[in-house]
Chains A and B, each alone.
Chain A
Amino acid sequence: MDWLAEFPSLGKRDLRDLKKGIDGSFREWSRSNGDAIEAFFDPLYFFLVWLEKLLIATPWPIILIIVAGLAYLGSRSWKLALGSVVSFMLIGYFGMWKDMMATISLISVSTLICIAVGIPIGILMSRYDRVQSAITPILDLMQTIPIFVYLLPVVMLLGIGRVPGLIAVCVYAIPPIIRLTNLGIRLVDKEILEAADAFGSSYRQKLFSVQIPLALPNIFAGVNQTIMMALAMVVIASMIGVKGLGMPVLQAVQNQYLTLGLMNGLAIVALAIIFDRVSQRYGQRLQAHRYGKEHE
Chain B
Amino acid sequence: MSKTKLKIENLYKIFGPRGKSFIDPVKNGMSKQELLDNHSHVLGLNNINLDIPEQRIQVIMGLSGSGKSTLIRHINRLIEPTAGAITVDDEDILSMSQLQLREFRRKKTSMVFQKFALLPHKTVAQNVAYGLTIQGEQESIAKEKSHKWIESVGLSGFEERYPAQLSGGMQQRVGLARALATDAPILLMDEAFSALDPLIRTDMQNILLELQKDLHKTIIFITHDLDEALRIGDNIAILRDGKIIQKGDPQQIIMKPADDYISDFIKDINRGKVIEVKSIMQKGSSKGTSLDSSCSLEDALKVLNNEKNNECSVVDNKGKKIGKVTLDAAIGALFREKASRNKEKYK
Residues of A at the B interface (CB closer than 8 Å) are 189, 191-192, 194-202, 205, 209-210, 213-214, 289-293, 295-296
Contact = CB atoms under 8 A, between A and B. Distances in A.
7 contacts: A189-B117, A191-B117, A198-B109, A199-B105, A199-B178, A205-B134, A296-B165
A192 B106 CA distance: 16
Contacts of A196: 119, 130
B17 to A, nearest CB: 15
6 closest residue pairs by CB, A with B: A200-B106, A200-B105, A195-B117, A292-B164, A198-B111, A191-B117
Contacts of A293: 165
Contacts of A195: 111, 113, 117-119
Nearest to A189: B117
B76 A201 contact: no
Interface residues on chain B, size class: 20 to 34
A199 B122 CA distance: 16
A78 B202 CA distance: 50
Q: Which of B110, B118, B119, B178 has the most CB of A within 10 A?
A: B119
B121 interface: yes
A218 to B, nearest CB: 13
Contacts of B135: 200
A227 B106 CA distance: 42
B113 A295 contact: no
A197 B119 CA distance: 13
B337 to A, nearest CB: 41
A210 B119 contact: yes
Contact of A194 (B103, B109, B117): B117
Nearest to A295: B162
Nearest to B163: A289
Nearest to A291: B164
Contact of A295 (B76, B103, B119, B165): B165
A228 B131 CA distance: 40
Nearest to B102: A200
A214 B105 contact: no
Given A191-B113, A194-B117, A290 B164 contact: yes
B293 interface: no
B134 A200 contact: yes
Contacts of B271: none
B106 A199 contact: yes
B121 A292 contact: no
Contacts of A189: 117
Contacts of A194: 78, 113, 117
Given A191-B115, A199-B130, A289 B105 contact: no
A210 B105 CA distance: 17
Interface of B: 76, 78, 102-107, 109-111, 113, 115, 117-121, 130-131, 133-135, 162-165, 178, 182, 188
A97 B35 CA distance: 73
B78 A192 contact: no
A290 B120 contact: yes
A211 to B, nearest CB: 11
B70 to A, nearest CB: 13
A198 B165 contact: no
A205 to B, nearest CB: 5
Given A201-B102, A205-B134, A289-B164, 18 more contacts: A191-B113, A192-B117, A194-B113, A194-B117, A197-B105, A198-B110, A198-B188, A199-B110, A199-B178, A199-B182, A200-B135, A202-B134, A214-B121, A289-B121, A291-B164, A292-B165, A293-B165, A295-B162
Contacts of A289: 120-121, 162-164
Contacts of B105: 197-200
Contacts of B131: 199-200
B237 to A, nearest CB: 21
B78 A198 contact: yes
Contacts of B130: 196, 199
Contact of A197 (B78, B118, B163, B165): B78
Nearest to B175: A195
Contacts of B111: 195, 198-199
A202 B130 CA distance: 13
B104 to A, nearest CB: 8
Contacts of B162: 289, 292, 295
A230 B340 CA distance: 77
B4 to A, nearest CB: 23
A265 B178 CA distance: 56
Contacts of B163: 289
A202 B134 CA distance: 8
A199 B162 CA distance: 20
Nearest to B104: A200
B110 to A, nearest CB: 7
B341 to A, nearest CB: 47
A227 to B, nearest CB: 24
Q: Which of A192, A210, A291 has the most CB of B within 10 A?
A: A192
Nearest to B127: A195
Contacts of B115: 191
B222 to A, nearest CB: 14
A292 B166 CA distance: 8
A292 B134 CA distance: 26
Nearest to A287: B121
A132 B131 CA distance: 31
Contacts of A214: 119-121
A290 B122 CA distance: 11
A290 B111 CA distance: 24
